[in-house]
């Protein structure tokens, strides 16, 4: 039997990778994917918990998270498209008009 | 309304009428209002004097002035022998000066204003002498100072006049500073500021001490000296004498009234009034005597070389005031007041005479540019001569009796008395010298001014000469009330004062008194003689002497550099402190630096902090992650887990 | 397995809200005049407000609770909604963003907030939060032809997503520790197991997400950019609604679920509160754009409001709620003035306004002084009430810091007043007045003054 | 004696209602606005006269009291009342406002409506400060006054007005917010009540008293202003319009010293007693510092402003001498300073309207051109330097007496302020009025009847207080005695309210 | 032991894939690596007896969301992307911060105390099949969140229309 901690560790590693990706990449699409990575890491841990705690709640939660992730992706990409129409930009460098 | 109240009130009413209606309605008639008021005061004063002469002492309160807790002060009047004589001096000299001014101030654009101020002054002076408590004295004290300020700076367009007025006021404030503290000390120690209570309780203070900066100081001495500070300022004694010569910027009648006869003598009056207090402190008495003597000598030496006729007379006034303090300091209060009284006449006369000369000379003050005025203005000359003889102490005239009384009593007053007597005698010689220097330079010899001036020379109008004549009579006869027993007189005035001022202990006999008298007469005549030699016989001699003793001459000419000294140690440091330290550094840099600097620092910080908000999304994410990390780390460290 | 049909009474307000929102989507096709839609939206909100007091109770197996705490917050959300609709009507027309979905999304967002306030289960909380957040992302970017609006939407969206990922990670750990997502059950369980480092981690992760929503430093950095870029009406909406919702969940989750580590999170929040007040107030000083300035001001206010949570007492919570209630009026009022002006986004646009538009200037003055907290405005009552509660809880030193910062805040609020009253006018300021906007301003200014003078109206 | 109307509420709210009324008037009808303002301020003044005539001088109780519940759940009451300490300030406020209206008659040409409205709002809130018997109510008035004052300085002021206005606002706000914290702490410790009278009969622990004393000190010291937090004052006074300077100098800065008397001492008697030496030292520094710095001023208003620092130093010195002469002198000196400095600012306003310069160097020989004006100015100058027969003397003498009683050294030092005062005021007078006539002021008309009438009431007061101060001192006797008892014996303080 | 090896494989591959996702210059590559990653996650779910979720993961994530990504990427200009800077200047800080946080998370979660076991043991789920068990819970106990989730999807639709649709 694999210990629960291993899952949690894996989840944490992926979570942090997602986080780092979000922080260091300039491409908005990649940032969006990084967020998806983070969400997936959460899913992994939730499913693992669910399994080990013998409780379905975690899996239900994962289900909702996937739903929201989908909605989020849709909206995020819509915003991106709207931006792209005005200004051919997918880099955060190009959306620095407001600052200070 | 009782009549005593009317004495000060009449001039006050005159003042009010003149200041309110003077400009529009009364104009050139302003003198009527004031003269009538002063005349009224004089008449009532005279009748009051006779009452006092008959042994009546008036002491009553008009109303409660300030009541705060146990501090209770009234406006009230105390008219005893001392006050009565002051009333006569004040109202009579004032009356004469009023009349004289009608001629002297004729045509001045501030005519009504001048009479208003004169009235106000008379009121204040009367309040000063009539008050029955210290605070009322203080009130009059400041009020006469104010009038003096107004009148010195009467021709305010002249910077020198405006400066002189301000200087008089501020220098007096230094004295009043001490005086005020003295008043407060008296209240704190005795719980009252009313004369009668003070004098009845003052004995309880003997032997008490107070700790000042680690030294135990005798309480009575301290109080007496604090009060004396006020007198030093008001009566222009060293070191606060500097304002009086400058005060000559005012119209001459003012000099006669305020800076010779009345206001400047207030200090003497006050010390005499507080004789029960002063007499309890040996130290204070000696300080008073020595201050008087030194001032007297000091001012007389300066007067030797001055050329400005009014300034000579002014220094002579300082000198004579020193004499009066000398008298008080040796316990001869009566003699001091006696001298005050005679001095009022002959000094007022000197000033008014000088004013008459100025009138003729179109405002010229330099005695070196006068000469031979005798034939042009005989009345002025004669009266001036009488006054000079009187001040020089020629027997028979008023000055002789009072001065002699002082010197004689000083002589009797132990070691200190001997010293001040010697100084007083020297001063007597000097006084005779510089007084006659004026006579010889201004009235004798050849005229040394311009042609226009010579053409203009004339005797003054009657309205000016009559007061001169009346004062001359006073200068001759005022002393006859005080002919000493040694000369067969009854010394009536000393007896008159005895209930208030006591009488000093005289140990020596008549022989010694004659000796003292002789020495002083010799000094006076010697002074006049040398003056005659210098300024009439050998006019080149003073110049040679001046060259020979150049350093002394220049020092005297510059009045011992006292003004310069004050400028150096007080005026300039204060301005420097104000401009270079307080305005520029403490307020400008330190306090405002903090007040404006903190917001500025916040703004600068803000501008810097703003740079963190780059607009770059990653940086925002980084910020969040960093925040998360820091919180997590701190909490874990804090939890120690 | 037979599950009884759930009691719908407690969720009636949410149901009406969502139904109306959905209905608006359809009605949009019918009505060309969007004013009608706005009117329906207000009607819906009013109906919800009317029904709300009757909706006490729990339902859906204890996932949803309607108690006085949540009802008060819902009042704030509804007021926020109504005022936002009122100030939006003419404005979005001017901004060429008059889509029927606009109102629908406002309603959805409000429904999301209401769910957050009522959530008793972390799943509901998360979903409510996402409902609110996703709607506001869209609303922020609704001026889709405007680059600034796009930029705002992108920034808000990405950082929002990031923060909800953190929230989820925290929730997942919490779930792992307790096998439940019910807030009250979590509290019970945690009481039994005691404090562990994992718990602290999960608490911090959840806190970060909530602090992000209320724009507390250092998780505030999105706020200025988003507030500036979003349409002003939405900025007004965001500066009150999501913030209040964030405080609602902080209040509930921290006070119940994390009760046994109260000292730990209080310590964290004290630091955060001080930092937030500092950052908000200090950075607001140098702003030249009024929306941006108000963004920093709203950050600063979040700092003050956090003090209410820190107090850890019922009074503190009450004070926090009162503060939010009052804040809604004064802040939306200020934004309404920004909207009323044709050019009102830059501080320099306000120069000489008092001469040109004395009434508008006077109203702005009232809002600025209220935000500063000067009596006799409501802002003072809010601050006073809050500080009293915090001092009573024993954090006097914290209040001293807060009042010093609020004195600093006077500086930038005064700058607006100064520009209006003490500078020379550069150009005539045109205004766009509409009945709805006037009504909104009237309501806000009256509330600001009435609460300021008769505070017993709100604190009874 | 019975008065037929709630007098305190009337004098507070009449001006405020008047201000609202003015807001409703048409911008163009300037004459109507002015007359309304004058009418309202005059009626307020007349209605406040019964405070003077019907005041019961024998008691230390609060008179003309009014109490209503305001915010019951917080224990806030709308409670008004005055005693011997506050009554004179109310009268001074109503009087000075009338004069401010008349003096501004021709000077204020822009935004007339807002100006008079602001003026009346200030009046209402100032009076509110002096009448409040509820700490919360007090704070509301205290702060509310900042807004119109801020506008008054910033909108109608001189060239550097914006800086001055913001400085004034922030300075005072920083002080006030600390007091707010103090108020809240006090509120909690009193048991949920803002009732000042209840607080006055409560004895707080010493440490608490000490903390609260400093919290309140922050607000009051800035307002007074005590050294070293005085630097807002020269700027605010200098830049404010004449009416603003008059209000600032005449009343607003009195509120600080009033606060010491009304709150710091009776509420924290032991702390006040312990801190009195420190306060007195600060006061003496202010006296001398403010005086000496006047010697370095080149701006008329700025000089008078700094002289206020010095004079208020006397006030606080007297107050913290904690004896009857000191406190009575302090209160009287506050009134005096209000009259005299108010009058001096009015005077400066009169000449500024003609010449549009405040630089002393631009003047000279004014006495020749405007003799009546010179005479009026002289009277106030003399009052300012504390010459007997003017009110300044009575106040300063009592203060020095009180100060000397409390501490010999400080008493002596404070007395030097009198010398410095004479120096800078007379120097000022000389430079402005004496010497050669400066061409810049040649040909200006003397004061007109409106201006004379504005100043005459103040002259009357100057002389009245100088000649018969008992009229005013007797108002304070009972209250001050009561206060001293409280400070000295912490606990014996009993104070009630008497209905109107 | 076998299961541990199995997990080891998954873990290593997933971490590697994640790193690839966030480091690729070309977003298309990232999406493709992510696709592989999602399959692996689905596999892990199977390993944890969550068949339904594994299916959803593949269908929804891999099938829908990633395709959406690809669509959008196709719309955009990739050439610019190739030449542009990949990472922000401060990336070392980001990486360091990530590692530190990871360390702290490891440090804190290593001592995780599990919650009490629930009623859905592996056997219980197996008896009912996973999908059925999950469905039952979802439509009864979690009906309310389910509805809310539907609203969120509605919003996603509305949002996409509002923001991306061409309008007059």
Identify the pLDDT of residue B547: 83
On whether any CB of chain C is under 8 Å from the CB of E142, the answer is: yes
For residue C217, give the DSSP letter.
T
Question: Whose CA is closest to B321, among B310, B337, B308?
Answer: B337
Q: Report how far apart, in Å, the C-alpha atoms of C384 and of each of C305, C316, C381, D98 are.
A: 12, 12, 5, 35
Residues of C in contact with E162 (CB under 8 A): 99, 101, 105, 138, 142, 144
- Answer yes or no: is pLDDT of E34 > 60: yes
Q: For residue A26, what is the nearest residue in chain B, using CA coordinates?
A: B618
For residue B332, give the DSSP letter.
-
Residues of D in contact with B176 (CB under 8 A): 418
Identify the pLDDT of residue B342: 87
Pairing between β-strand D62-71 and β-strand C64-66 as defined by DSSP bridges: unpaired
Asked if A23's CB is within 8 angstroms of B625's CB, the reply is yes
- Average pLDDT on C9-27 reads 89
Nearest by CB to E49, which of A6, A51, A92? A51
- Answer yes or no: is pLDDT of C303 > 90: yes
Q: For residue A80, what is the nearest residue in chain C, using CA coordinates?
A: C154
Distance CA(D194)–CA(C304), nearest Å, equals 24
All domains of chain E, ordered by start, with CATH? 1-114 (1.20.120.1200), 116-168 (no CATH)
| ω into B345 cis (within 30 of 0) | no
Asked if C201's CB is within 8 angstroms of E105's CB, the reply is yes
- Answer yes or no: is pLDDT of C81 > 50: yes
pLDDT above 70 coverage of chain E, percent: 94
Number of H helices, E strands in chain A: 3, 0
Asked if B621's CB is within 8 angstroms of C159's CB, the reply is yes
User: Considering only residues 221 to 240 of chain C, which have any Cβ-Cβ distance to chain A shorter than 8 Å?
Assistant: 224-225, 228-229
Least confident of B596-600, C454-458, D427-431, E20-24: C454-458
β-sheet bridge partners, residue B78: B59
Identify the pLDDT of residue B627: 92
Residues B78/B82/B85/B89 CA torsion (nearest 10 deg): -90
On whether any CB of chain B is under 8 Å from the CB of D415, the answer is: yes
Q: For residue B138, what is the nearest residue in chain D, using CA coordinates?
A: D388
Q: Measure in Å the smallest separation between the Cα of A66 and chain B Cα atoms.
A: 23
Q: Measure in Å the smallest separation between the Cα of B501 and chain D Cα atoms.
A: 28
Q: Do chains A and D touch (3 or more CB pairs under 8 A)?
A: no
Residues of chain D with pLDDT under 50: 1, 491-500
On whether any CB of chain A is under 8 Å from the CB of C99, the answer is: no
Identify the pLDDT of residue C330: 92
For residue D268, give the DSSP letter.
S
Asked if B613's CB is within 8 angstroms of C283's CB, the reply is yes
Residues of E in contact with A78 (CB under 8 A): 159-160, 162-164
Residues of C in contact with D156 (CB under 8 A): none
Residues of chain B with pLDDT under 50: none
B375 CB-near residues (< 8 Å, 6+ apart) = none
Sheet holding D62-71, edge to edge: D76-82, D62-71, D497-499
Q: Measure in Å the smallest separation between the Cα of C335 and chain D Cα atoms.
A: 21
Asked if C153's CB is within 8 angstroms of A86's CB, the reply is no
Tokens (6 digits) for C159: 């950082």
Residues of chain A with pLDDT under 50: none
Question: Whose CA is closest to D23, among D9, D11, D12, D37?
Answer: D37
Q: Measure in Å the smallest separation between the Cα of C186 and chain A Cα atoms.
A: 14
Identify the pLDDT of residue D496: 46
Q: For residue B604, what is the nearest residue in chain C, using CA coordinates?
A: C286
Distance CA(A33)–CA(C162), nearest Å, equals 11
Identify the pLDDT of residue D494: 45
Tokens (6 digits) for B29: 């008639």
Are C151 and A97 a contacting pair, CB within 8 Å? yes
B550-557 vs B540-548: helix crossing angle, rounded to 10: 100
Asked if C418's CB is within 8 angstroms of D166's CB, the reply is yes
Distance CA(C111)–CA(C101), nearest Å, equals 15
For residue C434, give the DSSP letter.
-
Distance CA(C215)–CA(B246), nearest Å, equals 76
Length of chain C: 460
Are C48 and C16 a contacting pair, CB within 8 Å? yes
Residues of B in contact with E107 (CB under 8 A): 636
Q: Measure in Å the smallest separation between the Cα of D394 and chain B Cα atoms.
A: 8
pLDDT category at E78 given cuts 50, 70, 90 is: low
Residues of C in contact with D151 (CB under 8 A): 417, 421
CB atoms within 10 A of CB C94: 12
Give the CATH fold of the A4-87 domain.
Helix Hairpins (1.10.287)
- Answer yes or no: is pLDDT of C71 > 50: yes
Residues of A in contact with E88 (CB under 8 A): 23-26, 92
User: Considering only residues 142 to 161 of chain E, which have any Cβ-Cβ distance to chain A shorter than 8 Å?
Assistant: 142, 145-146, 149, 152-153, 155-157, 159-160
Q: What is the pLDDT of residues C400-411, one digit of tens each?
A: 999 999 999 998
- Average pLDDT on C285-289 reads 90
Distance CA(D40)–CA(D187), nearest Å, equals 36
Asked if A68's CB is within 8 angstroms of C138's CB, the reply is no
Asked if D169's CB is within 8 angstroms of C410's CB, the reply is yes
Q: For residue B128, what is the nearest residue in chain D, using CA coordinates?
A: D388
pLDDT category at C172 given cuts 50, 70, 90 is: very high
Mutate to test the interface with D, among B12, B62, B69 (most CBs of D within 10 A): B69
Identify the pLDDT of residue B422: 87
Q: Do chains D and E touch (3 or more CB pairs under 8 A)?
A: no
Identify the pLDDT of residue C328: 93
Distance CA(A44)–CA(D30), nearest Å, equals 77
B→E contacts (Cβ < 8 Å), by residue, are 616, 618-619, 622, 625-626, 628-629, 632-633, 636
Asked if B632's CB is within 8 angstroms of C204's CB, the reply is yes
- Answer yes or no: is pLDDT of C109 > 80: yes
On whether any CB of chain E is under 8 Å from the CB of C187, the answer is: no
Q: Do chains A and E touch (3 or more CB pairs under 8 A)?
A: yes
Mutate to test the interface with C, among B595, B600, B605, B617 (most CBs of C within 10 A): B617
User: Considering only residues 53 to 72 of chain C, which have any Cβ-Cβ distance to chain E shorter than 8 Å?
Assistant: 60-61, 63-64
Identify the pLDDT of residue B359: 81
Domain locations in chain D as residue ranges: 7-489
The average confidence (pLDDT) of chain C is: 89
Nearest by CB to A22, which of B611, B614, B621? B621
Question: Whose CA is closest to C403, among D191, D215, D214, D193?
Answer: D215
Question: Whose CA is closest to B537, among B435, B445, B447?
Answer: B445
Question: Whose CA is closest to B67, among D383, D83, D260, D332?
Answer: D332
Mutate to test the interface with E, among B632, B636, B640 (most CBs of E within 10 A): B632
Question: Whose CA is closest to E35, among E76, E3, E73, E64?
Answer: E64
On whether any CB of chain D is under 8 Å from the CB of B64, the answer is: yes
Nearest by CB to A72, which of C161, C181, C286? C161
Q: What is the pLDDT of residues E90-144, one digit of tens each?
A: 888 999 999 999 999 988 888 888 888 888 777 787 888 888 888 888 888 888 8
Nearest by CB to B146, which of D375, D382, D408? D382
Mutate to test the interface with D, among C316, C391, C421 (most CBs of D within 10 A): C421
Q: What is the pLDDT of residues D150-193, one digit of tens each?
A: 988 888 888 888 889 988 998 899 889 999 999 998 888 888 88
Asked if D143's CB is within 8 angstroms of C421's CB, the reply is no
First-to-last C-alpha distance (Å) of chain E: 64
For residue D241, give the DSSP letter.
-
Domain locations in chain C as residue ranges: 9-459
B413 CB-near residues (< 8 Å, 6+ apart) = B289, B330, B331, B332, B420, B504
Distance CA(D487)–CA(D237), nearest Å, equals 34
Q: What is the pLDDT of residues B361-373, one digit of tens each?
A: 877 778 788 877 7
Asked if A59's CB is within 8 angstroms of E30's CB, the reply is no
Nearest by CB to B628, which of C208, C222, C264? C208
D373 CB-near residues (< 8 Å, 6+ apart) = D347, D350, D351, D366, D446, D447
């Amino acid at each position: 039997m694999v210990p629960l901690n291993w899952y949690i560790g894996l989840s944490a590693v992926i979570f942090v990778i997602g986080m780092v990706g979000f922080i260091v990449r300039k491409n908005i699409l990649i940032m969006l994917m990084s967020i998806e990575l983070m969400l997936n890491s959460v899913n992994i841990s939730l499913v693992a918990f669910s399994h080990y705690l013998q409780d379905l709640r975690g899996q239900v939660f994962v289900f909702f998270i996937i739903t929201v992730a989908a909605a989020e992706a849709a909206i995020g990409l819509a915003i991106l498209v709207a931006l792209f129409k005005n200004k051919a930009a997918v880099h955060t460098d190009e959306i620095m008009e407001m600052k200070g | 309304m009782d009549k005593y109240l009317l004495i000060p009130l009449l001039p006050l009413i005159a003042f009010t009428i003149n200041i309110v209606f003077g400009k529009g309605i009364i104009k050139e008639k302003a003198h009527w209002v004031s003269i009538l008021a002063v005349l009224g005061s004089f008449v009532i004063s005279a009748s009051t004097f006779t009452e006092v002469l008959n042994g009546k002492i008036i002491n009553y309160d008009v109303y409660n002035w300030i009541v705060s807790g146990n501090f209770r002060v009234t406006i009230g009047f105390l008219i005893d022998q001392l006050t009565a004589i002051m009333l006569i001096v004040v109202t009579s000299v004032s009356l004469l000066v009023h009349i004289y001014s009608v001629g002297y101030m004729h045509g001045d654009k501030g005519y009504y204003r001048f009479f208003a101020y004169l009235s106000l002054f008379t009121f204040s002076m009367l309040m000063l002498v009539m008050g029955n408590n210290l605070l009322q004295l203080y009130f009059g004290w400041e009020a006469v100072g104010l009038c003096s300020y107004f009148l010195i700076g009467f021709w305010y367009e002249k910077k020198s006049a405006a400066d002189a007025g301000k200087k008089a006021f501020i220098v007096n404030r230094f004295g009043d500073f001490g005086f005020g503290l003295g008043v407060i000390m008296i209240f704190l120690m005795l719980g009252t500021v009313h004369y009668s209570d003070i004098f009845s309780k003052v004995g309880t203070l003997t032997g008490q001490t107070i700790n000042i900066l680690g030294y135990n100081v005798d309480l009575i001495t301290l109080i007496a000296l604090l009060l004396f500070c006020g007198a030093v300022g008001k009566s222009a004694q060293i070191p606060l004498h500097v304002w009086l010569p400058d005060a000559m910027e005012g119209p001459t009648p003012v000099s006669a009234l305020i800076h010779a006869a009345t206001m400047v003598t207030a200090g003497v009056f006050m010390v005499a009034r507080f004789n029960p207090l002063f007499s309890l402190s040996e130290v204070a008495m000696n300080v008073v005597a020595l201050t008087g003597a030194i001032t007297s000598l000091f001012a007389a030496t300066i007067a030797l070389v001055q050329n400005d006729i009014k300034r000579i007379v002014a220094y002579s006034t300082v000198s004579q005031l020193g004499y009066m303090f000398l008298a008080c300091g040796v316990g001869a209060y009566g003699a001091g007041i006696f001298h005050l009284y005679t001095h009022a006449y002959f000094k007022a006369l000197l000033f008014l005479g000088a004013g008459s000369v100025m009138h003729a000379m179109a405002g010229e003050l330099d005695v070196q540019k006068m000469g031979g005025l005798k034939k042009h203005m005989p009345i002025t000359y004669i009266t001036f001569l009488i006054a000079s003889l009187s001040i020089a102490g020629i027997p028979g005239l008023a000055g002789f009796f009072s001065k002699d009384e002082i010197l004689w009593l000083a002589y009797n007053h132990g070691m200190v008395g001997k010293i001040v007597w010697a100084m007083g005698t020297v001063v007597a010689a000097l006084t005779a010298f510089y007084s006659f220097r004026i006579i010889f330079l201004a009235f004798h010899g050849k005229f040394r001014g311009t042609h226009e001036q010579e053409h203009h020379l004339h005797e003054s109008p009657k309205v000016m000469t009559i007061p001169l004549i009346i004062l001359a009579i006073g200068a001759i006869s005022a002393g006859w009330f005080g002919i000493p027993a040694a000369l067969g007189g009854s010394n009536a005035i000393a007896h008159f004062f005895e209930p208030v001022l006591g009488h000093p202990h005289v140990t020596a006999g008549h022989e010694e008194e004659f000796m003292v008298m002789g020495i002083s007469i010799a000094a006076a005549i010697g002074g006049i003689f040398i003056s005659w030699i210098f300024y009439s016989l050998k006019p080149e001699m003073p110049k040679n002497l001046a060259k020979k003793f150049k350093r002394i001459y220049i020092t005297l000419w510059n009045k011992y550099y006292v003004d310069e000294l004050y400028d150096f140690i007080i005026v300039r440091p204060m301005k420097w402190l104000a401009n270079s330290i307080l305005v520029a550094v403490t307020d400008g840099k330190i306090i405002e630096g903090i007040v404006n600097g903190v917001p500025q620092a916040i703004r600068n910080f803000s501008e810097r902090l703003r740079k963190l908000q780059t607009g770059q999304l990653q940086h925002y994410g980084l910020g969040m992650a960093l925040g998360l990390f820091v919180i997590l780390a701190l909490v874990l460290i804090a939890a120690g887990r | 397995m037979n599950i009884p049909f759930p009691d719908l009474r407690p969720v009636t307000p949410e149901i009406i809200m969502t139904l109306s929102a959905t209905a608006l989507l359809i009605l949009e096709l019918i009505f060309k005049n969007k004013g009608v839609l706005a009117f329906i939206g207000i009607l819906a909100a009013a109906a919800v407000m009317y029904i709300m007091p009757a909706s006490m109770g729990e339902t859906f197996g204890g996932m949803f609770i309607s108690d006085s705490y949540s009802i008060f917050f819902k009042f704030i959300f509804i007021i926020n909604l109504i005022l936002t609709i009122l100030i939006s009507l003419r404005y979005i027309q001017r901004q060429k963003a008059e889509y029927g979905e606009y109102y629908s999304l406002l309603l959805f967002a409000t429904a999301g907030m209401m769910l957050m306030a009522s959530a008793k289960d972390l799943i509901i909380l998360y979903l409510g939060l996402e409902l609110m957040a996703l709607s506001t992302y869209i609303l922020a970017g609704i001026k889709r032809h405007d680059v600034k609006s796009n930029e705002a939407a992108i920034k808000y969206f990405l950082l929002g997503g990031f923060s909800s990922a953190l929230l989820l990670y925290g929730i997942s750990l919490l779930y792992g520790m307790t096998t439940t997502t019910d807030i009250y059950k979590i509290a019970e369980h945690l009481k039994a197991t005691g404090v562990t480092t994992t718990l602290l981690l999960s608490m911090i992760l959840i806190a970060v997400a909530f602090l992000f929503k209320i724009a507390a430093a250092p998780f505030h950095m999105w706020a200025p950019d988003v507030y500036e870029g979003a349409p002003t009406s939405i900025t007004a909406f965001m500066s009150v609604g999501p913030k209040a919702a964030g405080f609602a969940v902080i209040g509930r989750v921290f006070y119940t679920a994390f009760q046994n580590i109260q000292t730990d999170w209080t310590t964290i929040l004290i630091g955060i509160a001080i930092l937030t007040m500092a950052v908000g107030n200090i950075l607001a000083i140098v702003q030249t754009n009024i929306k941006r300035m108000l963004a920093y001001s709203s950050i600063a206010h979040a700092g003050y409001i956090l003090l209410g949570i820190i107090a850890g007492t019922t009074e503190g919570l009450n004070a926090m709620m009162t503060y939010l209630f009052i804040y809604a009026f004064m802040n939306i009022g200020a934004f309404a003035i920004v909207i009323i002006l044709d050019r009102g986004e830059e501080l320099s646009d306000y120069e000489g306004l008092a001469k040109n538009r004395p009434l508008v200037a006077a109203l702005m003055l009232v809002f600025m002084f209220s935000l500063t907290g000067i009596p006799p405005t409501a802002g003072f009552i809010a601050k006073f009430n809050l500080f009293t509660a915090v001092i009573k809880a024993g954090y006097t030193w914290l209040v001293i810091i807060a009042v010093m910062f609020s004195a600093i805040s006077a500086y930038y609020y005064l700058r607006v007043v100064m520009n209006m009253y003490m500078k020379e006018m550069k150009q005539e300021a045109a205004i766009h007045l509409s009945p709805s906007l006037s009504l909104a301003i009237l309501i806000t200014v009256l509330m600001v003054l009435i609460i300021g003078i008769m505070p017993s109206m709100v604190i009874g | 004696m019975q008065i037929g109307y709630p007098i305190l509420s009337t004098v507070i709210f009449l001006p405020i209602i008047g201000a609202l009324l003015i807001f409703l008037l048409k911008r163009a009808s300037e004459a109507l606005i002015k007359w309304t303002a004058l009418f309202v301020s005059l009626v307020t003044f007349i209605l406040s006269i019964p405070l003077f005539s019907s005041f019961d001088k024998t008691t230390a109780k609060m008179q003309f009291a009014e109490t209503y519940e305001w915010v019951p759940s917080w224990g806030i009451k709308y409670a008004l009342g005055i005693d011997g300490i506050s009554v004179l300030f109310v009268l001074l406020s109503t009087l000075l406002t009338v004069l401010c209206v008349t003096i501004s008659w021709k000077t204020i040409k822009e935004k007339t409506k807002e100006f008079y409205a602001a003026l009346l709002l200030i009046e209402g809130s100032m009076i509110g400060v002096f009448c409040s018997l509820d700490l919360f109510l007090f704070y509301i008035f205290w702060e509310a006054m900042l807004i119109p004052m801020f506008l008054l300085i910033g909108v109608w002021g001189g060239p550097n007005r914006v800086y001055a206005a913001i400085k004034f606002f922030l300075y005072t706000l920083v002080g006030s917010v600390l007091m707010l914290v103090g108020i809240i702490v006090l509120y909690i410790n009193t048991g949920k009540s803002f009732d000042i009278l209840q607080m006055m009969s409560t004895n707080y622990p010493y440490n608490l008293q000490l903390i609260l004393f400093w919290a309140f000190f922050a607000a009051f010291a800035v307002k007074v202003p005590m050294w070293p937090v005085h630097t807002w004052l020269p700027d605010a006074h200098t830049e404010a319009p004449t009416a603003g300077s008059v209000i600032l100098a005449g009343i607003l800065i009195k509120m600080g010293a009033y606060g010491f008397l009304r709150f710091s001492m009776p509420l924290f008697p032991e702390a006040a007693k312990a801190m009195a030496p420190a306060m007195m030292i600060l006061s003496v520094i202010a006296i001398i510092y403010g005086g000496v710095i006047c010697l370095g001023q080149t701006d008329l208003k700025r000089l008078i402003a700094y002289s206020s620092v010095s004079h208020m130093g006397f006030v606080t010195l007297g107050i913290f001498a904690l004896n009857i002469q000191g406190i009575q002198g302090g209160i009287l000196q506050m009134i005096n300073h209000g009259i005299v400095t108010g009058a001096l600012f009015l005077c400066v306003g009169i000449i500024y309207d003609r010449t549009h310069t405040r630089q002393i160097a631009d003047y000279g020989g004014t006495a020749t051109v405007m003799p009546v004006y010179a005479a009026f100015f002289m009277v106030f100058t003399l009052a300012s330097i504390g010459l007997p027969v003017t009110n300044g003397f009575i106040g300063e003498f009592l203060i020095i007496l009180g100060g000397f009683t409390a501490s010999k050294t400080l008493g002596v030092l404070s007395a030097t302020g009198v010398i410095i005062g004479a120096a800078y005021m007379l120097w000022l007078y000389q430079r402005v009025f004496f010497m050669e006539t400066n061409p810049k002021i040649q040909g200006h008309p003397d004061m007109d009847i409106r201006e004379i009438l504005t100043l005459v009431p103040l002259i009357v007061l100057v002389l009245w207080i100088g000649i018969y101060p008992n009229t005013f001192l007797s108002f304070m006797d009972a209250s001050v005695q009561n206060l001293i008892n409280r400070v000295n014996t912490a606990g014996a303080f009993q104070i009630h309210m008497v209905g109107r | 032991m076998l299961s541990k090896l199995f997990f080891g494989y998954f873990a290593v591959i997933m971490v590697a894939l994640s790193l690839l996702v966030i480091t690729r210059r070309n977003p298309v590559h990232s999406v493709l690596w992510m696709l592989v990653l999602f399959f692996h996650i689905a596999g892990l779910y199977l390993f944890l007896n969550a068949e339904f979720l594994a299916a959803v993961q593949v269908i929804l994530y891999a099938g829908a969301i990633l395709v959406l990504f690809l669509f959008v990427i196709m719309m955009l200009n990739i050439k610019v992307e190739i030449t542009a800077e990949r990472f922000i200047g401060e990336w070392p800080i980001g990486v360091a911060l990530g590692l530190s946080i990871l360390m702290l998370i490891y440090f804190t979660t290593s001592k995780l105390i599990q919650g009490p076991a629930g009623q859905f043991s592996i056997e219980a789920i197996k008896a009912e099949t996973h999908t059925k068990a999950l469905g039952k819970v979802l439509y009864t106990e979690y009906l309310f969140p389910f509805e809310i989730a539907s609203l969120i999807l509605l919003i996603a639709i509305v949002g996409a229309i509002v923001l991306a649709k061409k309008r007059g």
